[in-house]
Structure 1
């Protein structure tokens, strides 16, 4: 106890001294942002000792390292995360309180790091947390974006994008490392000739050189000393401005590389900018890794034995030809040796079954921006086609599997050919890849394909964001689950305990009140905390079917208006979603949600029983208060379209019931909790595939067969929800004149029935609480710790670091 007291007193003295040293004034006169920055710097300093020791331990043991290349890392706020992982949260909170400072107020000043868009980036962040917490040597590589995706505002019921200036206060967690800067070359031309030793000599004369400067962020493990690194690359002016017409032009060309996450690619300039971004962080990261390796070992012959590189989706796939370029041109390796090293080093994670999401770059762009890299891709493609014909005897697949075809570079094909492992992210997803989307490649390389079902870090999504539930679990099953999430299964012994059921519902009510207060404070909407909180929170896309959700709400509205005796159990429907700026359909759905909300929430006949809420600017910090307040988790994508999903796991871990299709990781959730502890509806993936294959679905037939469907669809264009005749015409046309591509009307009746069943089940409070507890008990499997252990053993071959 004395030791804790001493630490607290020392912290208070250090904090006061640091304020004076940094800002030249005493604590009493310091601004709240100065207090936040000072605290952040102190926490980073606490972490830095372990950070340095971790690097030394890896170097001394010559451990194999893994590098996770991803265009996104949605880390969320790190202040609370780092304080808790370091084990000093309570001491710091008490110390600050004694200085008259509320830690929660400082926490609220931290912006979510604007390093991504959605699930891809949040998964990467969970993986980094698990790597450090499991003592595994794994680091991230990404771009240090100047602006995040965008801040979403709703104006006149429409999404408006405002710049996300997440760096306005600076990033207290990062350390600039200019000595590790790398020059990245674009454009120009390549000269090749045969040297005296008979080996090719290659000279690239670029038209643009960009200085890539790393900013390192410590990734603090939970209750461990291991601290890994997220390296963020920033584009700066190089010493030589190359052929730029003017300095201003050059500076702007350099700055725009890291200005935005996913620049608008509806223009040629935007497409080229995205390609530049992808090569920029790939080239910088790889050059750095190779330099570190050479300093340690002095040879690249063991590169694949000491380094693993995971490609998170197709964005970093240029790692493959870039590593080849370095080995061939800079280290004068023969092709076969370089190719062997490259394949053994690289592993690829596929995240989508949607063909439009499998990146393809016009050959012309790659030739123009990356002339030497394109030459290497050409040779990879030529050799692959030769192998298809001569080694595999599959000339029939040459055109289908080619890397270069139809004037484009097919990045997924390049990823599969150049990697030793190709994994899906849920069991169903991997089977769809093997049997459909990547069927031809699976026939050629069956041993490359494997499944690694996604996971979430239970530390952020349970321990930190839901302390009330964590405390209840500790009281019931002890605290082992904090380090070993699989031990949540011990809760199964108590799911029938009525006292526990009651306590759980009290915890859920406390979390619902916190969310209700947030909604009142930010949107000035009063919601009934005794109602069912029905939540759909995810990126807005047609296949995720937010439209199906709002169509059911429209249906309920009509039923209650027409029949005064028909009333539902009070329900609050909560949406949170961003639409891509150029995705017109998705933005129109957001407008529809708001127009329906206006109608429902302002109708005194209906609003006591139903409220519709849209929470704008959805991100990690909002998710942390939203997901643990939900009663119902809407996971209603068209079966076979969602690779995995991780929101479903976060809701599950916090005791929400999945209302969903048999898609993505929903399938595995249901396998673990049982059909009786979820609400599953709709077409299965096989049904959807058969419908598309046989072209057997007729949306108009469905429309005419069901008067309730007809009424809801007609209301899109009959001024029920908007007086502007142009509103929702696009949605109507997508449904009715594109044959309802994502089968909303096909699943509509089943969805309505499922919603009715949810209501009936919720009325049985004990039965509902039992279902929630079963979901929590079975959620340990979906910890990213389990996922990372599988990657580490089966793909990366890395082992824990001894500190």
Structure 2
């Protein structure tokens, strides 16, 4: 493609002329941007083809990661950096008078995910390729993302996330690999073949769009396959083709349709089956292009199910083996149960997917029939091993009370079940999934999450990356465990001061963004205390803003009370139907309106809510943080990955002992993080005792009473009923997530943070320790553990 600046310029000019019929100077900025994207994709395609060839020729085992979400973020800079061509392109464009950063800003975040689940999948893809393992993604090509968040008058407004409006040049459409996917219809027995057949089905074509996943400084380039729904020529008789076309389009229109209605539930289930069925069919076809049959399918393919969304892949592979390749049940089940591994991402019972049997039976009649048989045989097995313990049998049923329990199906059909942090896995084994752990003790294991340190440190924070490289060399980019070498330098006052300079520079970048987008002036020498994540009651953004209210009230009522200057920064989307969460967003913004405009306090206290939080915005936020808020109720957060990104960028964790916070605190030591609040077992015991009463805390702590009363006395909104739902949740629904129980401890923790921050060199030392210990939380480590314990892949050799 191009090896130096001159070759780049020639190729760039040639493509502009051929594609748009104009010179570089005449071309519009979007044309320049699209040309650059296409050039980088084509540059990667050489390695992409080589990777596919090596896998095929060496008959290597491959891993397929099935996930409803892949929150990839922008790919242009990441791919150019990984390919080692960023500087060439930057200099070549500069010769044309083009600032590469102007082109970078035109790229949208791909609307293929929402939160930690999808970002984890993206980090895994990066690490797999960078470590030379053959591992590919399977998902849906959503036309629109979750939504674009606007804040108007403090309220969240949802707009369509039109992420493809300037094109998505990374993808390559592969119509020759289209797969028919069947919905509805009925199942009949064919006497002549001795097989069940799915007839009168509505057929939808799944067409793949492949995106290259570029490894860092390596030839390995894997594939993220995104499936798009298109009409089939096989339209049901006597149907309105226009309605059929609309129904087809609905499948890939939006990430997470509202499933609060029967129609929404049907669409969500249709999405899940659509991409899993298409993905399984494609993997089977690819396997049969190399091998004579599917007897060794599990030896050459391992499929990781990222949460319960893709679990229909288990009965779907059974269907293909039995109905299309004439395997007997036992032989098919033997292949299936050696193919699938399942990652559980939640402790919350409401987040473990279930489906009405009636919905699944209607939409997927043959797949449901197979689930019934899996259930029947599993219950037979449990009866044997449990000596007919009926209570146990009732608790582990896949089908019960008109419901399909997807997590149970996943466990039964997989050879491995993993949690995503040690505490999370322990809770699954000892509480939430204990019955299954007793039945299948060898299936359960832990794989603590990680994040790709290349994107979240090396590329998004070049100032800090340069300082680290000057201090310990650049081997950490390939081997993140080498960040530990920083430990030899953490007490060096010169390094400490240079780190503080870097942090201040990154805070200024974020402050400029806040000024431009929010119109708020923030003090870069204040403590940047940041909580950014999906808005949910258990993540306790409400505890954070109640503490802000407390501090504001103290300053207003006590002239001698002063805090160290603090800027509290929030970013979060609330699910469109999640009324409580949307009210918390309004509360944060209402508090911001009051405190930011109060001349008596605003030199000490500012509150900022950043709208439309996503990957690109996170790349500005993480490097600027002083304090990482990780304050979920202990035992509720599976892992968290934001905590790892903040840590890598030299922020101190202020958190409960929940999720991966436990392992962060173990690695950095108690003196290098600030932990508060009830522990998991204490939460469990308090709940079990029935002795928790929110009103007791309200009546016995004036700080709590005053802050809670401000929700309904007009302090932050002229309508005293505006935040009534929040008040009710805390006081009359007894504070499910124990905010009031942890409030005093949280206040003390915030005081400790402020005290620590005022000793600048000690603070810098703590931050440097966090960076040094963050190598463990690279997704490179996580992937190596998956490979060693679950996937058993071999590295590609070119």
Sort the TM-score into its range (normalised by shorter chain).
over 0.9
Q: CA deviation at 1:195?
A: 3.8
1:184-263 to 2 correspondence within 5 Å?
A: 184-195=181-192, 200-243=194-237, 245-263=239-257
CA distance in 2, matches of 1:400, 1:508: 52
Give secondary structure in 1 for the equivalent of 2:219: coil
Match for residue 516 of structure 2? 521
Q: What is the root-mean-square deviation of aligned Cα atoms in Å?
A: 1.0
Query: Match of 1:8?
Result: 5
- SS for the counterpart of 1:27 is coil
**Which runs of no fewer than 5 residues in structure 1 stay unpaired?**
none
Q: Which residue of 1 aligns with 2:738?
A: 743
CA contact (8 A) 1:208 1:243 kept: no
For structure 2, the 5+ residue unaligned runs are none
Name the counterpart of 1:287. Answer: 281
Alignment of 1:424-573 (within 5 A): 424-573=419-568
Query: How far apart in 2 are the matches of 1:320 and 1:209?
Result: 21
Give CA-to-partner distance per residue, 1:10-35, whole Å, 9 cap, x none: 10011011001000111111110000
Q: Does 1:670 align with 2:641?
A: no
C-alpha contact (below 8 Å) 1:533/1:631 kept by paired residues: yes
Asked if structure 1 preserves the Cα contact closer than 8 Å seen for 2:142 and 2:253, the reply is yes
Q: Please state whether the residue corresponding to 2:25 is helix, strand or coil.
A: helix
1:558-582 CA distance string (max 9 Å, x none): 0000111211110000000000000
2:404 counterpart SS class:
strand
Equivalent of residue 97 in structure 1, options 94, 101, 115: 94
Tell me, in whole angstroms, the C-alpha distance in 1 between the residues paired with 2:758 and 2:396. Answer: 54
TM-score by length of 1: 0.99
Which deviates further from its counterpart, 235-244 or 139-148? 235-244
For 1:32 and 1:59, locate their aligned partners in 2 and report how far apart those are by CA, in whole Å: 40
Query: What is the DSSP-based 3-state SS (H/G/I as helix, E as strand, rest coil) of the residue aligned with 1:300?
Result: coil
2:689 to 689, 694, 700: 694
How many Å apart are 1:747 and its aligned residue? 0.2
Whether the 8 Å contact between 1:152 and 1:161 is mirrored in structure 2 is yes
Partner of 1:171: 168
Q: Is the 8 A contact 1:186 1:206 kept in 2?
A: no
Query: Which of 155, 163, 185 is matched with 1:158 structurally?
Result: 155
Distance 2:191 2:303 in 1: 32
How far the C-alpha of 1:794 sits from its partner, in A, is 0.6
Tell me the number of residue pairs that the alignment of Structure 1 and Structure 2 aligns: 797
The question of 1:718 aligning with 2:713 is answered yes
Tell me if structure 2 keeps the 8 A contact 1:427–1:664: yes
Give the deviation of 1:245 after TM superposition. 2.5
CA distance in 1, matches of 2:387, 2:276: 34
Query: Which one of 639, 643, 650 corresponds to residue 644 of structure 1?
Result: 639
Structure 1 ranges of 4+ moved more than 2 A = 193-196, 391-396
Following TM superposition, by how much is the alpha carbon of 1:290 offset from its aligned partner in structure 2, in angstroms?
Answer: 0.1
Partners of 1:729 and 1:606 lie apart in 2 by: 26
Q: 1-side partners of 2:461 and 2:321: how far apart?
A: 49
Could you tell me how far 1:746 is from its partner in structure 2?
Answer: 0.3
Displacement, 1:393? 2.7
In 2, Cα distance between the equivalents of 1:663 and 1:584? 26
The Cα offsets for residues 766-798 of structure 1, whole Å up to 9 and x where unpaired, read as: 100000000000000000000000101110111
Stretch moving more, 690-699 or 84-93: 690-699
Q: Which deviations, in whole Å up to 9, do the C-alpha atoms of 1:486-517 show, x marking residues without a partner?
A: 00000000000000000000000010011011
- Residues in 1 aligned to 2:423 and 2:215: alpha-carbon distance in whole angstroms: 31
1:266 shift after superposition: 1.0
Contact 2:711 2:720 in 1 (8 A): no
TM-score (norm 2): 0.99
| Secondary structure in 1 matching 2:442 | helix
Structure 1 pair 376–649 and aligned structure 2 pair: CA distance change class (3 A): same
SS in 2 for 1:296: coil
Deviation at 1:521, TM superposition (A): 1.2
DSSP-derived class of the 2:35 partner: helix
Shift of 1:207: 3.5
For residue 579 of structure 2, the aligned residue among 562, 565, 584 is: 584
Deviation readout 1:708-748 (Å, 9 max, x if unpaired)? 10111111111110011221100011111111000000000
1:338 corresponding residue in structure 2: 332
Partner of 2:105, secondary structure, is: helix
The match for 1:773 is 768
Structure 2 distance, partners of 1:52, 1:662, is 46
Q: Is the 8 A contact 1:207 1:243 kept in 2?
A: no
Matches within 5 A, 1:270-349: 270-349=264-343
Aligned-pair CA distance for 1:243: 4.3
Q: CA separation in 1, counterparts of 2:620 and 2:220?
A: 29
1:784 aligns with 779
Q: What is the alpha-carbon distance in structure 1 between the residues aligned to residue 720 and residue 359 of structure 2?
A: 41
Q: How far is the alpha carbon of 1:394 from its aligned partner?
A: 5.0
Which whole-Å deviations, capped at 9, do the CAs of 1:507-554 have from their partners, x for residues lacking one?
000100110111111111111000000000000000000000000000
Give the corresponding residue for 1:140: 137
Aligned to 1:47: 44
Q: Secondary structure at the match of 1:216?
A: strand
CA distance in 2, matches of 1:45, 1:516: 37
8 Å Cα contact 1:185-1:206 kept in structure 2:
no
CA contact (8 A) 2:25 2:96 kept: no
- 1:783-802 → structure 2 map (5 Å cutoff): 783-802=778-797
Q: Deviations over 1:668-708 (max 9, x none)?
A: 00010000000000000000111112222111111101011
Q: 1:386 corresponds to which residue?
A: 380
Q: Distance in 1 between matches of 2:256 and 2:694?
A: 34
Matches within 5 A, 1:353-364: 353-364=347-358
Q: Secondary structure at the match of 2:520?
A: coil
